Amino acid sequence: MSRGTAIDLCYLVAAIGFIIALKGLSSPRHARTGNLVAAAGMALAIGATFARTGLGHIGLIVIAMVIGVAIGVPAARLVKMTAMPQMVAAFNGVGGGAAAVVSITEFLGSDPKTLATYKVLEVIFGVLVGSVSLSGSALAFAKLQEMMSTRPITYPAQQVINGIVGLTILGFVLTILVTSSTLLLWILLGLSLVLGVIFVLPIGGADVPVLISLLNSFTGLAVAASGFTLDSNVLVVAGTLVGASGMLLTRMMSVAMGRSLPNILFSAFGSVVTASGSTEGEGGRSVRAGTPEDIGTLLAYSRRVVIVPGYGLAVAQAQHTAKELADTLLAKGVEVFYAIHPVAGRMPGHMNVLLAEANVPYEELKEMDEANPEMPATDVALVVGANDTVNPAARDTPGSPIYGMPIINADEAQHVVFLKRSMRPGFAGIDNALLYDPKTTMLFGDAKDTLQKLVAAVKKA
């Protein structure tokens, strides 16, 4: 067996590993094994690549890899669980960037005059999609990190500008196909970066997770395109696997949020009206603010309390204090459970991860469908740093941007208590009528701080 065949066999094994990994990652029992199988497949593929005949610059490759590991491992290890979504965005973006650079470098290394048209097309696709994924992910990162407004950003003639950029790119693609011009390819790369930005700008913060999943799928396709350019089976297989499964995952995520994908990607253009319409109501209605003592007494003498955690709990790192409050209430004979919205936190499943970190027992966690029928028989719904996921507008107001999203029916409990930093609207940037409901009491402040006060108050009551 020649060395080349042996290397190709290693790539085949790696590709099988990736398929098994995806299968494993989609079931709770085998998820962790799946990830390890993928990592092993990756190690095999990388090792085999080192054995290629004629691979030069091995020293430089190793140095570059060491730099990547030196940045990537600490970044991935030290990041807080609350910041996971933006880390996924960041790592996805660099992957897209790498795919674009690989395509363009391979183009530089070959003689453009003799290059077949389909080869040029492969390069263009890799550069275009990889760059969109890079700049789109960077912007998604900035939105999640709250380095910029999480609201959809719209400006006059947005659709016209998008159309112009799109047509310009199409023009460049056709010209490059005919001329094989390197300079135009660089300009195309720049334009694609712009396209990624204007594509993401109008997408609201709450929808960013779905967007990241879509960009993840894009990066997979860019990798597959690079695989075509390099005649590499393993790149085509792995890239396409991610591209196809990523598309499906994106659709499943948007279904979990009760939205269609086009609605998520393009709905911001209409939402400006709704946002301005909702602000006028704010001044007219009054809210009731309570003291920790009032609420502590209310909780201590309830029969059943549900805690509805949201991103505010995660930001305040209050999952441990929430558990302490639950334990204190349990000790008083109060029945306590957590109602977890599928997209609580910032990504589907994010809240489960955070509460698992605080060792909240599995039996106390109830998924939304399981929790909602229990709401009318619940005395107090304690909403900790959540807002959009309990907003009745999603159920009752057809014009609302979140209309159709399944919610936790906190409003059906006898009393509702909101622990919130301020009256500011939630991540989706829309008003919540439940805050003004007569049975609602507000307790303003940092979630961890107010929860601690509640623990003390419950103990005294």
Partner 1 sequence: MTNGLLELFTIFVLAAFVGYEVISKVPSILHTPLMSGSNAIHGVILVGSMVVMGSAHTGAEETLGFIAVILATLNVVGGFVVTDRMLNMFRSRQPDRPGGGDQAEQTDRGQS
- Name residue, tokens 């363009």: 104
Least distance from C-beta 131 to partner 1, angstroms? 12
CA–CA gap between residue 113 and residue 129 (Å, rounded): 24
Q: Does residue 51 bind partner 1 (CB under 8 A)?
A: no
**Cβ partners under 8 Å of residue 8, min gap 6:** 233
Q: Does residue 174 bind partner 1 (CB under 8 A)?
A: no
Contacts (CB under 8 A) with partner 1, residues 204-233? 209, 212-213, 216, 219-220, 223-224, 226-228, 230-233
Contacts (CB under 8 A) with partner 1, residues 355-414? 355-357, 359-363, 365
CA–CA gap between residue 129 and residue 223 (Å, rounded): 9
Question: Considering beta carbons, is residue 239 or 296 the nearer one to partner 1?
Answer: 239
Question: Considering beta carbons, is residue 231 or 280 the nearer one to partner 1?
Answer: 231
- Name residue, tokens 């390069």: 123
Q: How many residues line the site for partner 1 (CB under 8 A)? A: 117
From 78-86, 197-205, 279-287, 303-311, give the range in contact with partner 1 by CB under 8 A.
78-86
Reference 92, options 227, 246, 203, 253; nearest CA is 246
Residues 222-258 as b or e (16 or more Cβ within 10 Å = b): bbbbbbbbbebebbbbbbbbbbebbbebbeebbebbb
Least distance from C-beta 5 to partner 1, angstroms? 15
Least distance from C-beta 146 to partner 1, angstroms? 19
3-state secondary structure 90-109: HHHHHHHHHHHHHHHHHHHH
Least distance from C-beta 276 to partner 1, angstroms? 33
**Amino acid, single-letter form, for residue 416:** V
Among 79, 147, 164, 170, binds partner 1 (CB under 8 A): 79
CA–CA gap between residue 153 and residue 200 (Å, rounded): 9
Among 82, 131, 278, 352, binds partner 1 (CB under 8 A): 352
Q: Does residue 59 bind partner 1 (CB under 8 A)?
A: no
Q: Does residue 247 bind partner 1 (CB under 8 A)?
A: yes
Question: Considering beta carbons, is residue 155 or 362 the nearer one to partner 1?
Answer: 362
E strand map for 398-439 = 415-420
Contacts (CB under 8 A) with partner 1, residues 101-130? 101-102, 104-106, 108-109, 116, 118
CA–CA gap between residue 158 and residue 179 (Å, rounded): 31
Least distance from C-beta 181 to partner 1, angstroms? 16
Q: Does residue 244 bind partner 1 (CB under 8 A)?
A: yes
Question: Considering beta carbons, is residue 222 or 442 the nearer one to partner 1?
Answer: 222
Least distance from C-beta 196 to partner 1, angstroms? 15
**3-state secondary structure (DSSP) of residue 441:** strand
The angle at the Cα of 143, spanning 35 to 381, to the nearest 5 degrees, equals 80
Among 87, 197, 272, 456, binds partner 1 (CB under 8 A): 87
Among 13, 98, 184, 272, binds partner 1 (CB under 8 A): 98
Sheet holding 415-420, edge to edge: 365-367, 335-340, 304-309, 380-384, 415-420, 440-444
Q: Residue 322 has which token pair?
A: 């929430």
The contact pattern for partner 1, residues 324-343, with x = CB under 8 A and - = no contact, is ------------------xx
CA–CA gap between residue 235 and residue 35 (Å, rounded): 18
Contacts (CB under 8 A) with partner 1, residues 7-46? 11, 14, 18-19, 21-23, 25-28, 31-32, 34-36, 38-39, 42, 45-46
399 close to 274: Cβ distance less than 8 angstroms = yes
Question: Considering beta carbons, is residue 21 or 382 the nearer one to partner 1?
Answer: 21
Question: Considering beta carbons, is residue 366 or 421 the nearer one to partner 1?
Answer: 366
Q: Which of 207, 388, 411, 431 is catalytic?
A: 388
Specify whether 294 is catalytic: no
**Cβ partners under 8 Å of residue 412, min gap 6:** 372, 375, 376, 378
From 86-94, 190-198, 289-297, 425-433, give the range in contact with partner 1 by CB under 8 A.
86-94
CA–CA gap between residue 199 and residue 136 (Å, rounded): 7
Report the catalytic residues.
388
